[in-house]
Structure 1
Amino acid sequence: MPIDIDRFEQGSSEDLRSGGRTNAEDILSFLAAHPEQAYTPKEIHEATDVARGSVGVVLSRLEDRDLVRHRGEYWAISDAEDIEKTLSAMATARAATDRLGSEDPEEWGSGIDESEEQE
């Protein structure tokens, strides 16, 4: 979903997250909600708003993890029993990152309160 240019230019990185969910979560959730159907990448794009160019890459990565399957142009959720566990783990990881921050050590800070350094 597009945002206005003022929000783009003035928003923080946190403000510019698109709902917080990853493309993989969006696609996996969509396919899991429709286990009796298979979809083309275009249909998945239209249903999830994941960028058309990203859908194929995400589907391939999900297939590598045995979470989705495909035949010809169609993709469907796999028969794997751990789809719900995977979605739950993704949501948990996202929540932890939102709460605790990035894995980038440069964003962590020193861990020392600046008032303690002045003593």
Structure 2
Amino acid sequence: MSSGTIDIDEFESADDGEFETQNDTERIVLFLDRNDDRAWKAATIAERLGLETDAVSAILSRLKERDLVRHKSPYWAITDDTDRLRAAYRLHRHHEGADEQYGEERLEELRTDEMEEVQ
């Protein structure tokens, strides 16, 4: 449910193809990271990104479990642990690259018991 518009600063700072490939979780994390001087209500994030509030709330809860966002009801903010956030960005890029190279099904075949789940 996109509004069909984005802020011109967001447009100018985006890489080519960035908006085509972002999933909702990526969009939320990038939004909070770019607006790290504020805490936001889930409904406001949803409105700004053209998403459903329930979907944003569920994503934020999963991100909180991974310590990538902070929550003081009813507000949400990006983590202040910049090392953890950088590590999550690196892991995400690595996973995307592996998925492109091997395909999602092949990655499941390659998974071993020694691989740690990212929390």
**TM-score normalized with structure 1 length:** 0.63
Paired with 2:93 and 2:20, the residues of 1 have a C-alpha distance of 12
Map residues 2-13 of structure 1 onto 2, 5 A cutoff. Answer: none
- Following superposition, the deviation at residue 83 of structure 1 comes to 0.8
Larger radius of gyration: 1
Aligned match of 2:95: 93
What letter corresponds to residue 90 of structure 2 in structure 1?
S
Change (3 A) 1:92 1:19: farther
Q: CA RMSD in A?
A: 2.4
Paired residue secondary structure (2:40): coil
- Following superposition, the deviation at residue 97 of structure 1 comes to 1.5
1:78-97 deviations in Å (ceiling 9; x for gaps): 11122122123213312321
What runs of 5+ residues in structure 1 fail to find an aligned partner? 3-17, 106-119
**TM-score normalized with structure 2 length:** 0.63
Structure with the higher fraction of residues in helix conformation: 2
Change (3 A) 1:71 1:87: same
Matched pairs, number: 90
1:35-63 deviations in Å (ceiling 9; x for gaps): 11011111111222343321011100110
Aligned match of 1:45: 46
Matched-pair contact (CA < 8 Å) for 1:67–1:77: yes
Matched-pair contact (CA < 8 Å) for 1:32–1:83: no
Aligned match of 1:114: none
Paired with 1:41 and 1:27, the residues of 2 have a C-alpha distance of 10
The worse-fitting range, judged by mean Cα deviation, of 78-87 and 26-35 is: 78-87
Paired with 1:89 and 1:50, the residues of 2 have a C-alpha distance of 25
Map residues 32-111 of structure 1 onto 2, 5 A cutoff. Answer: 32-81=33-82, 82-103=84-105
- Spell out structure 1 runs of 4+ moving beyond 3 A: none
What runs of 5+ residues in structure 2 fail to find an aligned partner? 4-18, 108-119
